[in-house]
Every structure is written in structure tokens, then in C-alpha cells.
């Protein structure tokens, strides 16, 4: 029997179905309209997540937050460690600024979020439509030196959000830290974000009407924006591993698994060799007073060089080893480094890398140019008040070279040839390595004094303080100490104390002595260089000289008489431990160096040891002396601030 529409039950059934359908579509339409209405107080704000270890990606996210606010888009700036990932399905628009950390892992603040994504993607109960209402875009910041781990965190975010149904309205943008240009690249991406939110380029828009996207009137600009801009201002020129962030608008697919980034294959140059120093890095370093040599080297005039030219004292190397500061050239043949130490006094304006992948300059040209630039800077000191003519004349002929300016000099493939060139000119060599290239240490020819940075006593602390690029950094570190032990010439452990980070590790440091058997142990308080996006150190992290002395005495005591505190330089907050059986004879310390004897020994081509070119330490440099390591032949000046003294000379206080 055919269904009669006139029957009451039938009409009721149809009405019920129609009503339910109508209500459903009305509900969906109303929900859609509400979500697109900018004036609706219940409109969910978009979210900007920052995944960052050092704070630079947070700074980028803050800049984006300000940009969007100025363009009329309300977004929340969110630290993912404070966010419940289960709420992600409720979001309408998400932007992620993600750094890759520790050889492919997520920074700590993004760990839980990343774990949730991993679990959700693999959980069949979640399904592929969880984020179907969510639009998103990802900006990745990483280093090409990570190889196949380059920007892996950002790429994983993009891939997994898509797998969960998210709509990627902006192509994944990746920056390469080895290229530079962070502000420009991120600025371009931010403009594209604004364009998508306005509905340009087929982005569909965020709010969906013409009212949104208008720049706010000046009176709507509030003090919060100023605060954020001011907070970010210090770090605006910083170049860092997450964060030298190269020009990488997008990472397009190439052949097979290879990727093209700005015309470069897997982060390297397709044709030809790339220069280590990009224009951005060059400009940043030159602004700090560096003179760039060729494509990867640099030289800079040290403040202690200027000080001793004026007869106002030398650095701790003058007190400990007899270096003439006014005749010392500070240089490096490699501005690149494999660490991102929290106390880096260059604020990471140098490149990073785990191997030499750059164009290589000739060692003779590097030495010639370094000396030429150094002497030009010395000449510029002529006429400076207090500069002594005799010392200025001596300074034009450098006798020492501190290969510790910035970066990792031992990475330079022709380091032995460069050292040979310096020695031929009877210029001493003090080389500092960050203990990540043990094979390079073993291949290194005799130099005047070889340093290894020992910035922590345990694996976890070293990882936190040095922030190394290598995954096997601890094994490399220990092997570097073993390689140091094999050297016959003078060797040093350099310890930089950072309160709150590594000053409680006396036992751990002591256990490392037997591995490298260094001749000396330099213990220095960290130098505060100002806060930045790459370092959160403050003056509270800087130990007093009394703290350094206490630590040094405790460390010497742990050695059971093998080492004793030999020298100090109060002005530099630095103390020296020396091996007793080698450098203390009849109660007299012999930490100073006979530089002429050293050069004669090198020229002879015969084997020699650190004991063959030592000379007595003057009494004023010995630990506990009244002078505190300050040469009494120099005149120490302090700027007039709050020092109480009736003895004034030329606006300064004389001691």
C-alpha cells in the first residue's frame, strides 16, 4: 500500500526530519558565521606556537604576533608547554615557529606537544579529520649542517598536522642557519601570513569579510606593542644556530629525496663553493669591530692590546705566561664553530657547522692579511691619549697570536700550514679548541700552547652549557682530552665558571684531570656580555673573584698535590693551576715562556717538551701576591665613578 502523505503519522515524520535537517544546517551556518564574525566576543583567536630552546624562535613569534595585531588579527602567543594539545581540534588557525634542536630533536618546551602529535597520528581511533576545521602554517629554523636532520621538527609538524586533517594554507618555509638573513626571510613569510588571512592568493581569509585586515588607527596602538618591540630590540641583529636563519622562503621538492633550498641541494651549493661569511654575517661582525679576512677568517684588536699600548696593564696571559699584550694579535682562520655556548661573548654572530664545507683561503694570504690589518689598527692608536711611542712602535711588529678570537680555528683544513707561517715569522701561537675534533688535535703540529675548553664536568652539563651540534659530543669531548695528553708541548684545560650552571662540579672536573693530564688549568669567571635572544645569562651568573679562588683551591686540593694554585689575575677574575712536578722548582714557579727559545726549538726540527722553554714567573704574578697579578711597571687606572680618593689625574683615579 503506497504511503499516504495525508496521514498524520507520515506528515509528522517528514516534518520531524525536515526540522532536524534544517536545524542542523542552520546550526552549522550559524557556527560558521559566528567564527567569521570579527565583532563576536566568542570568536576563537588564532594561536601562534613557538618551539624554541634559546628564545630566538620565541622572539620571532613575538614579532609575528605584533605584526598580526597591527594588521587587525587577534592571535594568542602560546608556549606549547602551557597548552593542552587535546584542544587543538578547537582551533581555527594555527601558526607554528619551530626550531630544530640537538641533532634533530624538539626543543624542551615543545616535547609534550610533539609526543602528542606522534601518538595521535599513529592512533587509528583519532582519525584523519580531527583538525579538518583548522588552518595552519609552519616556519622552520635550522642548520644545514644537520644534514638529513635539517629542520626536521618543522617538517614533522607540517606533515603530522596534515595527517590529522589540518589545512596547510601556507607552504612550509624553512630557514638555513648557515645562510643568514633571519629578519628578511621571516618578514617575507609574515607578509604571506597576512595575505592569507586577508583572503589573498586563494587563502580564503580568516574572518571572511572586508572589515578584517585593515591596519589599526594610530590611537589603537597600545603600550603593549611598544613593550614587545623594545623587548625584542636587543636581539634583532643576533645570528644564531636556530637563528642565523638563512634565506629559505620554501623548501621545494627536487629529484627523489633531494630537496632544493634557494637553488641549493640539501643545503649545499649546487655549483661552486660557498663563502663562510655571508654579507649579513660580515656586516654583523664588522659592526663589532672585526676585520674580515677573505671568506672565513678574521682579526680584531683586543682591549688589552689597547690597554698595554697605554701602559695600563696587560691581560691574564701577560701575568700567567709573559705575553706582551701590546704585541699580541687576536685572530682566527675559522669563524665557524660546532658549539653554541651559553656564554659566547660574540652572541653567535658567527656561522656554525660540524665539518668544513666552505671555500678555503690560502694560509699565507690569511697570515699576511691578518698582520696587515692588525698593524693598521695599531697605527690608528697613534695620538690616542696615553699611548706610548715606544709601545706603539713595538705593537707594529706582533710577536704573539691568540687563535681564539671566535669560532673553531682547528676546523680550518690548513691549520698546520697557518701555524708554520706564524712560527716562521717568530710569532707565538696560543690556540683554543672546543674539544669536538679530537682527530684534528692529534694531527696538530707543535704550537706554543694548546687549550681545550672544558666547560663542564658531566655530559648533561656540557650539553646545557656548550649546546653542541654533534650527537656524540661527549665521546668527542673525552677523546679530545685523550688527544691532548699525547702532546709534548704546553697544554691547558680552560674552565669558564657560570654560576648556576657548572660551579658545583668540583668532583666531576677533578675526575677529568687524569684523562688529559694538562700542564695548566685556567679557571675564569664568565664575562657578562649583555643579554640577547641567544643567551639568558645575567650578572647573577658571573662569579666574584673570591668565588673563582674558592673553586680553584678546592679543585687543587682534589688533585692530591698534583696541581697547585700558581697565579691569578684579579682584574680578569682568573686563576691558574699548574702541575707541580713540571713547573715548580725549589719553591719557584716557572709558568712564563721563553718565546725566543721556543722558536729556536721549532726551527731545529727536533723533538722538545714544555719543560724546554719555560722561564721563571715574576713574584707579582704569583697567587696571593699583593699586586693581584697586575704588573707593577704598568699604571692602573680606573674611571671616576664612585671611587673615593683624593688622588686624581686627568679625570681618572690613579692607583
Q: Looking at residue 216, what is its pLDDT? A: 30
Helices of type H across 486-594: 506-516, 545-558, 580-583
On the question of pLDDT at 126 being above 90, the answer is no
CB atoms within 10 A of CB 379: 12
> Model confidence over 636-650: pLDDT tens digits?
655 444 433 333 333
Q: Looking at residue 58, what is its pLDDT? A: 87
> With contact defined as beta carbons under 8 Å apart, do 583 and 612 qualify?
no
The closest alpha carbon to 602, from 410, 492, 447, belongs to 447
Q: Looking at residue 38, what is its pLDDT? A: 41
DSSP classification of residue 296:
T
> Model confidence over 205-237: pLDDT tens digits?
554 333 333 333 333 323 333 333 333 333 333
Q: How long, in residues, is the chain?
A: 655
Higher pLDDT, 485 or 234: 485
Residues 6+ apart with CB under 8 A from 504: none
Alpha-carbon span 106 to 288, nearest angstrom? 32
Q: Could you tell me the pLDDT band of residue 265, with boundaries at 50, 70 and 90?
A: very low
Alpha-carbon span 166 to 158, nearest angstrom? 9
Lowest mean pLDDT among 342-351, 390-399, 463-472, 507-516: 342-351
Q: Looking at residue 569, what is its pLDDT? A: 94
Q: Looking at residue 235, what is its pLDDT? A: 35
On the question of pLDDT at 164 being above 60, the answer is yes
Higher pLDDT, 437 or 217: 437
Higher pLDDT, 219 or 437: 437
Q: Looking at residue 300, what is its pLDDT? A: 92
On the question of pLDDT at 590 being above 90, the answer is yes
The closest alpha carbon to 121, from 155, 156, 152, 93, belongs to 156
The residue-averaged pLDDT of 385-408 equals 91
Alpha-carbon span 586 to 312, nearest angstrom? 32
The residue-averaged pLDDT of 521-535 equals 69
Q: Looking at residue 597, what is its pLDDT? A: 97
On the question of pLDDT at 86 being above 90, the answer is no
Q: Give me the sign of the Cα torsion angle 515, 583, 437, 532.
A: positive
On the question of pLDDT at 420 being above 50, the answer is yes
Phi, psi angles (nearest 5°) of residue 493 = -90, 125
Higher pLDDT, 43 or 470: 470
Higher pLDDT, 270 or 522: 522
On the question of pLDDT at 187 being above 80, the answer is yes
Domain covering 283-619, topology: TIM Barrel (3.20.20)
Q: Could you tell me the pLDDT band of residue 309, with boundaries at 50, 70 and 90?
A: very high
Phi, psi angles (nearest 5°) of residue 373 = -65, -40
On the question of pLDDT at 118 being above 80, the answer is yes
The closest alpha carbon to 313, from 640, 652, 638, belongs to 638
> With contact defined as beta carbons under 8 Å apart, do 53 and 242 qualify?
yes
Quick check: do 44-196 and 283-619 share a fold?
no
Q: Looking at residue 182, what is its pLDDT? A: 66
Q: Could you tell me the pLDDT band of residue 175, with boundaries at 50, 70 and 90?
A: confident
The residue-averaged pLDDT of 114-122 equals 85
Domain ranges within the chain, ordered by starting residue: 44-196, 283-619
Element spanning 461, H or E: helix 459-466
> With contact defined as beta carbons under 8 Å apart, do 419 and 447 qualify?
yes
On the question of pLDDT at 557 being above 60, the answer is yes
Highest-confidence segment of 55-64, 417-426, 635-644: 417-426
Residues 6+ apart with CB under 8 A from 378: 301, 305, 309, 392, 395, 396
Q: What percent of the chain has pLDDT over 90?
A: 46
Phi, psi angles (nearest 5°) of residue 96 = -125, 125
Residue 489 exposure: Cα atoms within 13 Å on the Cβ side? 25
Element spanning 18, H or E: helix 8-36
Lowest mean pLDDT among 79-93, 356-370, 468-482, 538-552: 538-552
Q: What percent of the chain has pLDDT over 70?
A: 74
On the question of pLDDT at 273 being above 80, the answer is no
> With contact defined as beta carbons under 8 Å apart, do 369 and 559 qualify?
no
- Give the mean pLDDT of the chain: 78
Element spanning 419, H or E: helix 415-424
Return the CATH architecture of domain 44-196.
3-Layer(aba) Sandwich (3.40)
Q: Could you tell me the pLDDT band of residue 287, with boundaries at 50, 70 and 90?
A: confident
Q: Looking at residue 178, what is its pLDDT? A: 61
Q: Could you tell me the pLDDT band of residue 281, with boundaries at 50, 70 and 90?
A: confident
Amino acid at each position: 500500500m503506497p504511503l499516504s502523505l495525508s496521514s498524520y503519522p507520515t506528515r509528522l515524520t517528514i516534518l520531524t526530519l525536515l526540522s532536524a535537517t534544517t536545524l542542523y544546517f542552520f546550526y552549522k551556518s550559524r557556527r560558521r558565521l559566528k567564527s567569521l564574525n570579527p565583532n563576536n566576543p566568542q570568536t576563537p583567536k588564532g594561536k601562534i606556537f613557538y618551539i624554541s630552546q634559546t628564545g630566538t624562535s620565541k622572539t620571532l613569534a613575538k614579532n609575528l604576533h605584533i605584526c598580526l595585531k597591527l594588521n587587525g588579527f587577534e592571535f594568542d602567543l602560546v608556549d606549547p608547554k602551557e597548552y593542552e594539545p587535546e584542544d587543538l581540534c578547537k582551533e581555527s588557525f594555527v601558526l607554528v615557529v619551530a626550531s630544530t634542536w640537538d641533532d634533530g630533536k624538539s626543543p624542551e618546551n615543545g616535547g609534550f606537544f610533539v609526543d602528542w602529535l606522534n601518538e595521535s597520528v599513529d592512533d587509528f581511533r583519532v582519525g584523519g579529520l580531527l583538525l579538518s576545521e583548522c588552518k595552519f602554517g609552519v616556519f622552520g629554523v635550522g642548520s644545514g649542517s644537520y644534514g638529513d636532520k635539517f629542520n626536521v621538527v618543522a617538517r614533522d609538524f607540517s606533515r603530522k598536522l596534515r595527517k590529522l586533517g589540518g589545512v596547510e594554507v601556507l607552504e612550509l618555509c624553512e630557514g638555513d642557519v648557515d645562510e643568514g638573513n633571519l629578519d628578511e626571510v621571516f618578514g617575507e613569510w609574515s607578509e604571506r601570513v597576512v595575505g592569507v588571512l586577508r583572503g589573498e592568493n586563494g587563502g580564503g581569509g580568516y574572518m571572511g569579510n572586508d572589515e578584517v585586515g585593515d591596519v589599526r588607527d594610530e590611537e589603537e596602538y597600545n603600550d603593549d606593542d611598544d613593550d614587545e618591540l623594545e623587548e625584542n630590540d636587543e636581539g634583532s641583529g643576533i645570528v644564531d644556530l636556530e637563528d642565523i636563519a638563512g634565506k629559505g622562503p620554501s623548501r621545494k621538492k627536487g629529484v627523489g629525496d633531494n630537496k632544493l633550498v634557494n637553488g641549493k641541494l640539501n643545503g649545499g651549493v649546487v655549483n661552486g663553493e660557498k663563502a663562510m661569511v655571508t654579507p649579513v654575517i660580515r656586516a654583523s661582525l664588522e659592526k663589532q669591530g672585526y676585520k674580515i679576512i677573505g671568506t672565513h677568517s678574521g682579526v680584531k684588536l683586543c682591549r688589552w692590546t689597547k690597554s698595554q699600548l697605554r701602559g695600563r696593564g696587560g691581560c691574564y696571559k701577560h701575568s700567567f705566561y709573559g705575553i706582551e699584550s701590546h704585541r699580541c694579535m687576536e685572530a682566527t682562520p675559522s669563524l665557524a664553530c660546532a658549539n653554541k655556548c651559553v656564554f659566547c661573548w660574540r652572541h653567535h654572530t658567527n656561522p656554525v657547522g660540524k665539518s668544513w664545507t666552505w671555500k678555503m683561503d690560502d694560509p699565507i694570504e690569511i697570515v699576511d692579511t691578518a698582520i696587515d690589518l692588525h698593524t693598521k689598527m695599531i697605527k690608528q692608536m697613534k695620538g690616542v691619549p696615553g699611548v706610548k711611542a715606544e709601545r706603539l712602535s713595538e705593537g707594529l711588529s706582533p710577536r704573539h697570536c691568540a687563535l681564539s678570537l671566535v669560532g673553531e680555528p682547528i676546523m680550518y683544513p690548513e691549520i698546520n700550514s697557518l701555524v708554520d707561517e706564524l712560527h716562521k715569522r717568530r710569532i707565538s701561537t696560543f690556540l683554543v679548541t672546543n674539544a669536538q675534533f679530537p682527530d684534528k688535535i692529534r694531527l696538530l703540529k707543535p704550537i706554543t700552547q694548546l687549550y681545550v675548553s672544558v666547560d663542564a664536568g658531566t655530559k648533561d652539563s656540557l650539553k646545557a652549557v656548550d649546546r653542541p651540534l654533534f650527537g656524540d659530543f661527549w665521546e668527542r669531548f673525552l677523546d679530545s682530552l685523550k688527544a691532548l695528553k699525547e702532546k709534548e708541548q704546553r697544554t691547558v684545560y680552560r674552565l669558564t665558571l657560570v654560576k648556576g650552571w657548572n660551579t658545583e662540579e668540583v668532583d666531576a672536573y677533578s675526575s677529568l684531570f687524569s684523562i688529559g693530564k694538562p700542564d695548566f688549568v685556567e679557571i675564569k669567571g664568565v664575562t657578562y656580555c649583555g643579554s640577547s635572544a641567544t643567551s639568558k645569562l645575567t650578572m647573577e651568573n658571573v662569579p666574584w673573584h673570591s668565588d673563582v679562588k674558592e673553586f680553584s683551591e678546592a679543585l687543587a686540593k682534589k688533585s692530591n698535590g698534583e696541581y697547585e694554585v700558581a697565579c691569578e689575575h684579579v682584574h680578569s677574575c682568573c686563576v691558574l693551576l699548574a702541575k707541580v712536578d713540571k713547573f715548580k722548582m725549589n719553591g719557584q714557579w716557572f709558568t712564563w715562556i721563553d718565546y725566543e727559545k721556543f722558536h729556536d726549538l721549532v726551527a731545529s726540527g727536533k723533538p722538545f717538551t714544555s719543560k724546554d722553554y719555560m722561564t721563571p714567573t715574576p713574584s707579582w704574578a704569583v697567587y696571593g701576591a699583593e699586586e693581584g697579578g697586575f704588573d707593577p711597571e704598568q699604571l692602573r687606572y680606573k674611571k671616576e665613578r664612585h671611587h673615593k680618593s683624593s688622588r686624581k689625574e686627568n679625570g681618572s683615579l690613579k692607583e
